[in-house]
Chain A
Amino acid sequence: MTSPAKPDPLSRRRFLGGAALAGAGLAGTGLARAETGKPDPLITEVQDWSRYLGEGVDKRPYGTPSRFEKHVIRRDVSWLTASPESSVNFTPLHELDGIITPSGLCFERHHGGIADIEPASHRLMIHGLVEKPLVFTMEDIKRMPRQNRIYFLECAANSGMEWRGAQLNGCQFTHGMVHNVMYTGVPLKLLLAEAGVKTTAKWLLLEGADSSGMNRSLPLEKALDDVLIAFAMNGEALRPEQGYPLRAVIPGWEGNLWVKWLRRIEVGDQPWQAREETSKYTDLLADGRSRRFTFFMDAKSVVTNPSPQAPLKQKGRNVLSGLAWSGRGTIKRVDVTLDGGKNWQHARIDGPVLDKSLTRFYVDFDWAGQDLLIQSRAIDSTGYLQPTKEELRKVRGTNSIYHNNGIQTWHVKANGETENVEIG
């Protein structure tokens, strides 16, 4: 005999929206009862989960997170775009740890919705300046030598809403267009070798099978270096929203190039000047001219906890946590300030430090309840130092939209409430 599990009244966790934090900061969540001299009933009384049987192995053939984690989801900002099929949502960075993003929380960006493709119906064509144009099935691709690599994917528009000043209250919204997973795929170099690239070739066109026919030009040099044509992420097939059954992986370069539902690679001698590399993904500078083909994602970091959606709740010992990454190599060092940049300390990097991958850092600190102005700054293996937003605006103006890798500031108030601010 089993009894249905009862909801636990003491496990209420409410999502703290950016503007609805008043009084939420130091509310007595998890105060040990013993402090009041009364024994904690969670200890002294037998709880349902300790008495009754839980669900069996036949109940969750594909597991999902605990029901107490329902607030940990991708969120979108409805006013940003005209339609949800050509839009974006954001990874809840403040709810995650380590360096791997769970597949179901990797931010989505589509231009014509999620293509629904049966692998047996998918084809990859390589043609153009090649000895022999070829068509591959998924079966063909899975018979080729494959590699496993962990890479971050960051949208070039990540933090784009912050160019003119602090706007969105939460690192999910300011920095959530980034994720980091392990890909399994075939080096593009091998696929190109099968077709035989002609000596006049300089550029490739990558094209998706979705209803936007997403197309981007890619320099051949990069394609022959470290580009993967991936069919798996985090050990399982790509998720539909991440390009199932096949996507391009362009390590360290802007996410828009990582064409999903990849169906065609044309080999040519010049870029195509597609809509996504001209009218979009060009960086408009203050003089009215625009940079194009700004592929690299510069070194960047953000403190994920505390942050507006994850305020401080307890005085005393706390863990500050964050992420750093660079499209040009590895993260060498991360510095953190708690006083708005007067003084800095080296953060403790923990976990794998990989090329073109998210890197996790921590500062274990004591908080006496004073206001904090928290920032992090990253230095990568090329010696690039993450600039302040002001330094970036000086060289780029405020109309660029893309490639905002400026230093982020969080203001922690006495009640723990945390806000996205800018400082001078």
Chain B
Amino acid sequence: MSRSVNPVLLAGFAAVVVLAAAPLIAQTKPPAKQAQTHPPAKAAPAPAPAAKLGLGREALPEEIKAWDIAVRPDGKGLPPGKGTVKQGDEIFQAQCASCHGEFGQGNNRWPVLAGGMGSLKSDRPEKTIGSFWPDLSTVFDYVRRAMPYGNAQSLSPNELYAVTAYLLYLNDIVKDEDFELSDKNFTSVKLPNAAAFYDDDRETTEKAFWGKEPCMSNCKPEVKITGRAAVLDVTPDSKSAPKVD
């Protein structure tokens, strides 16, 4: 890596000097005038002072408790509480069904919460809690922070356990209306699709996309149009665009 000094012109009058730690772009046509590079973060002179800045104040335990609402798959963050499928049914019909449907089937374009089992390889996969979601904690965490839509963070811990239990019931993961979900038994419930997730492996499985020297001329004998957007005709036009005055 060569280090060079580039003048960067900003707004035509302020000249700022940056350290560039990356090679300039190889240009095959006329070279880009004034090609600039960020100093990559690793090589940037970190403005970290030797000592702490001493900014910010200590967070109080009550403040952390108020904001610390995340729940992890291992149960970390679960509040004490409990609720049954039956109780969850009542809460769901009153506060969730208008969007998600009585049985989690989803109204209009609102999310479908149940069903879709075995559909993930099909043309129209239905990704629901039962068919797709890997962890039950995600249901609790998300409902706790974002639902009901437009009235977030309004459900009590007991209501959250009850609604989560009802969603398990809708997805046939528990079959008993009297099933009670609590912080004690929460992590024993496993979702069906849990094992179907794996970490990003593009750099190995898509290795072929790296290091290719692409063809530049006479690359194919003929070209055919195989699909056209106008056939579908679903593009918004000026009539559906917002008015700007």
Question: Which A residues fall within an 8 A CB radius of B?
Answer: 14-15, 17-20, 70-71, 73, 75-83, 85-86, 111-112, 125-127, 132-136, 140-141, 143-145, 147, 149-150, 165-170, 173, 187, 189-191, 193-195, 205, 207, 211-213, 215, 225-226, 251, 263-264, 266, 268, 270, 272-275, 278-279, 282, 284, 286-296, 298, 308, 330-333, 335, 339-357, 373, 377, 379, 381-385, 387, 391, 395, 398-399, 411, 419-424
Contact = CB atoms under 8 A, between A and B. Distances in A.
A296 B74 CA distance: 27
Given A270-B72, A385-B212, A395-B205, A343 B58 contact: no
A77 B70 contact: no
Looking at chain B's contact residues, the main secondary structure is loop
Contact of B237 (A18, A86, A125, A135): A18
B108 A275 contact: no
In this complex, the member of A19, A79, A344 whose beta carbon has the largest number of chain B beta carbons within 10 angstroms is: A19
A62 to B, nearest CB: 16
B48 interface: yes
A127 B68 contact: yes
Contact count band on B: 35 or more
A134 B197 contact: no
Interface stretch (B49-57, B83-91, B156-164): B49-57
B152 A213 contact: yes
A422 B224 CA distance: 9
Interface string B103-129: 000001111000000001101010101
Given A189-B46, A292-B200, A342-B218, A270 B74 contact: yes
Contact of B63 (A125, A170, A290, A295): A125
A32 B215 CA distance: 41
The 7 A-B pairs at the shortest CB distance, nearest first, are namely: A17-B237, A213-B145, A226-B41, A340-B223, A18-B235, A145-B47, A420-B229
Interface in B51-101: 52-59, 63-64, 67-74, 76, 99
B216 A344 contact: yes
Given A166-B232, A194-B52, A341-B220, 15 more contacts: A20-B238, A77-B236, A133-B64, A134-B58, A140-B55, A145-B49, A150-B38, A165-B227, A167-B229, A169-B229, A278-B138, A292-B198, A343-B216, A421-B225, A423-B223
